[in-house]
Structure 1
């Protein structure tokens, strides 16, 4: 959450941030009023409690009627203390709930608006001219089915719409991407972690995923656990309620985990293939650092993402998101968009966010700095979200004969192969017509 002191020292900064997010600035005024009531309630309780303690010291020194009078007054004061304590706790609870609804303070130079207002910061590479090569572009699903790599029909049959199987070279390609991503992160000094994909409510709330993003989260009601939509959640909560050694910062972790998303509100969008799915595997970078180092660390994460995409030999752009599309925790966010030939446009494949001290305050993660104990900054960045990168590889590296060129960096993880080709005879057959009809019905 934001630093509550800003309400008293610089409320206009919060108002600017709210407007940049497309949110109401009136919430700030409401919070200021509730904060004043909260502090008054706390002061009333502390005053009554102090008087109660003072009377408690006097009673042993008195006798007779004077003692009885003090005892009566103490009893009366006890009721006042109890009522004041309840009022203070209620005011604190109201204030905390309201404060949780305020997103992280957006940097003043973040673009205003929504998706149409993203700013292209960089462009790398040039999309292939398939027409000049005499190649008719096929989309990832046609290519994947021909290769025996993707089976959405059986995915829908077994699990429903937006599920899939990766088979044969598709499964091998996922493992190659994960291994390349992990080796890239390890070579850059990250510590590998395989985190749990189920977390308790405080971990989900602490990272900001039970606010505006709650509708997109899967919850197991019987166990009061959540399926994570990104390894960011368990990686952020890893050091919750801890005080870190500032001398050891930054702490950089890279986590591999499944990710689950309900894709609420996406009905009818990207229904073909595996672009928008309910489950996928992902490799996520996460960093804890000193607050003054967060902006530089953010750019480092972005550079590592760019390094990985360049290894895959894909054309891409770096976009800065507008304030209206930032998640609750992010103060600034960059996305990398790669070219999708079948769609003739760039689409998101990775992102990196600077969450400053927002998540650390909610998760109670601090460090001992020279000038005292304070919340650290947290940052996250995706190295590979597998399905979308598989789409990009299949489409951008497709050849006239239906094979797929393998970027040099991936070859060591694919047995040295330079091309992915269709399976030999006798491999798992494609789904039959009834399975296709079932999949269409599920969609």
Structure 2
């Protein structure tokens, strides 16, 4: 949720942010009214409670001949207090619902508009060219004995797959390389649970516009996570953190699940858009003042990985309407995929400022004073989809694939992935 004082003091700022995201400014007016009604209901309840307490003292001290009338008045007051308490509960629920429709305040400079309105910040590397007809990642994966979509479909249905042989080794090599880089940067490795409670999923913002992508186990009322951002955000829920020594940085290695609802017919070939994958996700708790600097640091780490892997990429500043409810700014890094003649997203990193922390009640105490919400950030450092760009970028005419030098120690020194058929 956003800072309530921001809504009360600067509603026009909140409206501009909502409009930049493509949302109606009426959501802000509704939230202002709901917040006003909630505070009025609380005030009315507190005044009635005070009157009830004062009246109770009068009853206790009153002469016997006055008690009957005062007791009758006490009963009336009691009913009024109960009604006022119900009004508080109702108004708080209405305010919570109104606030839930307000997305995080976008930071200055974020492009307005939708998915197509991103701004390219920089590109790196030359677009790969070939003197032969390049194969796509699935054709290469099948030749290498690395990807088996047919059996994945047989066992689990559409958009499932097996990584086999060198494919399994390649993913483990990528993830372990990412983990080593995270350790060098001071991150604490975590293997989190991949089932979380509704309050954690809701607190991170994934039960809003992305709710149709989330798998829900109704009987247990648990959600399968689409990124370890979710359990890592919940890791310090309802805690006061000590950030005096600097940010708390975690690297979560987990399997992730997404239903990919509404994406039928889009990227259905291969492993670009699938229901299950593995990912190494960076997650940071820091002060709001340091959040933008920390955001740039995460992007630098992602770029370093992609440069070492010899991939051509671009960094984009995602437009407000494509951010997701929790992000105040998001940078995507997209690698060139030769057979698609296009850049495709390999990493995202988001600055969620204090939005998630307010929902999950995660605070710190700057200079030993009053507690205040922390800022949270997240960013991908390795994931299954990277195999797509790796295979296609480093392929050779005979279907073999050159292994980037940085990955060779993680593959027993292997320099070339050779076709097995």
Band of TM-score, shorter chain: over 0.9
The aligned counterpart of 2:283 is 286
Deviation at 1:248, TM superposition (A): 3.6
The aligned counterpart of 2:156 is 159
Q: Are 1:331 and 2:323 an aligned pair?
A: no
Deviation at 1:58, TM superposition (A): 2.4
- Cα distance in 1 for residues equivalent to 2:286 and 2:41: 36
SS in 1 for 2:244: helix
Deviation at 1:31, TM superposition (A): 1.4
CA contact (8 A) 1:126 1:315 kept: yes
Q: Are 1:20 and 2:17 an aligned pair?
A: no
Task: Output the TM-score relative to the length of structure 1.
Answer: 0.93
The aligned counterpart of 1:32 is 32
Q: Are 1:377 and 2:393 an aligned pair?
A: no
Deviation at 1:168, TM superposition (A): 0.5
CA contact (8 A) 1:249 1:288 kept: no
Task: Output the TM-score relative to the length of structure 2.
Answer: 0.98
SS in 1 for 2:90: helix
SS in 2 for 1:372: coil
Deviation at 1:69, TM superposition (A): 2.4
Instruction: Using the TM superposition, name which of 347-356 and 365-374 deviates more.
Output: 365-374
- Cα distance in 2 for residues equivalent to 1:34 and 1:249: 38
CA contact (8 A) 1:123 1:316 kept: yes
Q: Are 1:70 and 2:67 an aligned pair?
A: no
Q: Are 1:304 and 2:306 an aligned pair?
A: no
- Runs of 4+ more than 4 Å apart: none
The aligned counterpart of 1:430 is none
Q: Are 1:54 and 2:66 an aligned pair?
A: no
Instruction: Using the TM superposition, name which of 241-250 and 148-157 deviates more.
Output: 241-250
Deviation at 1:181, TM superposition (A): 0.7
CA contact (8 A) 1:22 1:113 kept: yes
- Cα distance in 1 for residues equivalent to 2:7 and 2:387: 46
- Cα distance in 1 for residues equivalent to 2:113 and 2:72: 63
- Cα distance in 2 for residues equivalent to 1:231 and 1:8: 34
The aligned counterpart of 2:265 is 268
SS in 2 for 1:5: helix
Alpha-carbon RMSD = 1.0
SS in 2 for 1:335: strand
Deviation at 1:60, TM superposition (A): 2.3
The aligned counterpart of 1:367 is 364
Aligned match for 1:135, one of 132, 138, 154: 132
Deviation at 1:57, TM superposition (A): 2.1
Deviation at 1:401, TM superposition (A): 2.3
Deviation at 1:36, TM superposition (A): 1.5
Contiguous gaps of at least 5 residues in structure 2: none
- Cα distance in 2 for residues equivalent to 1:83 and 1:144: 67
The aligned counterpart of 2:113 is 113
- Cα distance in 2 for residues equivalent to 1:108 and 1:22: 16
- Cα distance in 2 for residues equivalent to 1:138 and 1:19: 43
The aligned counterpart of 1:440 is none
- Cα distance in 1 for residues equivalent to 2:104 and 2:289: 16
Q: Are 1:412 and 2:409 an aligned pair?
A: yes
CA contact (8 A) 2:175 2:383 kept: no
